[in-house]
Each structure stands twice: as structure tokens, then as C-alpha cells.
A and B are shown apart, each in its own frame.
Chain A
């Protein structure tokens, strides 16, 4: 049973394209997150949603737009992809809205922009 799953696992695309990454959790958690991990392994939060409501929005370009159709799903759409967007994107979920409980991570989506 996969707790937090992401698709696709790998994504190779050209600059200027638009792409989406999907995330689903079956843990019954209320809060979901998107993180970006750069080539130096630094993991940084981008967004957080609680029950379909955006609660954390870090300094992220407007080209990135999260969407949560229900509390078990959080998708990330990226417009006009740039070379610097190449990274590994992780989805995570936790039980609480305050961000105090343990976050459980998905396997990651490796995005390469050419």
C-alpha cells in the first residue's frame, strides 16, 4: 500500500512547455505539501494545502500553480518551464493543519527541462 504516491516519476520536457505533476495520499491526512529539492539535496517547501485551502505559499514564481480537487489529492501545474525548474519535486502529507505532526513524503518526480 503506497501512502503518498506521485506521477510521473520522471518528466523530461523542453523549455517553454507546460506540465503537471499529480499527488495522492491514502493516509486520511488533512494537509498536503509540495517541496522542491535542488541538485545539492536542499529541500524547500513551496506550498501547503489543508482540506483544499492554500495555507502556505512560499516565494514561488507565479508559473507554479497548485490545485487541490479534494483533501487526498494535490497537483502541481507548471507553466512556461525554465531550465532552473529542473529538480526533484516531492509531495508530502501530514495529519494536522498547524504543521506540527510528522510529514510523510512521496517518492518524488524528477523534472528535467532541456
Chain B
């Protein structure tokens, strides 16, 4: 069964304290892995897409990496405005030529000044 697991469930960091969020997945034939950021009371906001093992993408203090079994979202020198829930999702085959996104339950990140 296609599955996405994120860890930790919650992470508290001091401003400037770098860390990583983990997303491990089980899917038949990975077609893409997505990272989203979700602020309280808002919809998920797209961050990155990764398609193949070894691929890396960066945006400001965030860097996403991908292996054959997991993805990491590295946060370097975080600021309080980086506080949010970070969601990981993989594309899984639904039927025919159609795919669907399967989400993990997210990591709630709190960065304290």
C-alpha cells in the first residue's frame, strides 16, 4: 500500500538552530515527491517537487533532497517566520493514466526567537 510517513510530528527550534524534517515513503514507482508549507488557517503552499533520487532543490533557508526511500527538508538558520506545518506528498498511481497525491500528516515546526 502506498504510504507517506513524516517525522518528527513536531519540532521546536531556536532561531538560527538548523535541523531536518524527514519524509519516508512507500510507493510503486515514484512519479514525484512534493513539499508544501501550511500556515494556520490557510491552504498548503507549494515549495518543491523532486522526481529522482539524488535530486536537490533550494529556496532561501530550505533545501529538499530525495533518496529512493525518503526525502529530507533541511532548514538552515531558521527564523520565526519559518514556523508552519510542513507537508510531504507523493504521487501514486490511481488508475489508467491518472495519479493522485498521498500526503503525510506533516511536521509542525515552531521557531522561537
Interface residue ranges, A against B (CB under 8 Å): 4, 40-45, 48, 55-56, 58, 90, 92, 97-100, 102-108
Contact = CB atoms under 8 A, between A and B. Distances in A.
Contact of B94 (A40, A92, A99): A99
Nearest to B31: A100
| Most A-side CB within 10 Å, residue of B44, B46, B106 | B44
A45 B44 CA distance: 13
A55 B31 CA distance: 18
Interface string B19-46: 0000000000001101010100111111
Contacts of B99: 98-100
A106 B42 CA distance: 8
B46 to A, nearest CB: 5
B87 A43 contact: yes
A102 B85 CA distance: 18
12 contacts: A41-B106, A43-B44, A48-B98, A55-B98, A98-B98, A100-B31, A100-B32, A102-B49, A103-B34, A105-B36, A105-B45, A107-B42
A104 B97 CA distance: 20
A56 to B, nearest CB: 6
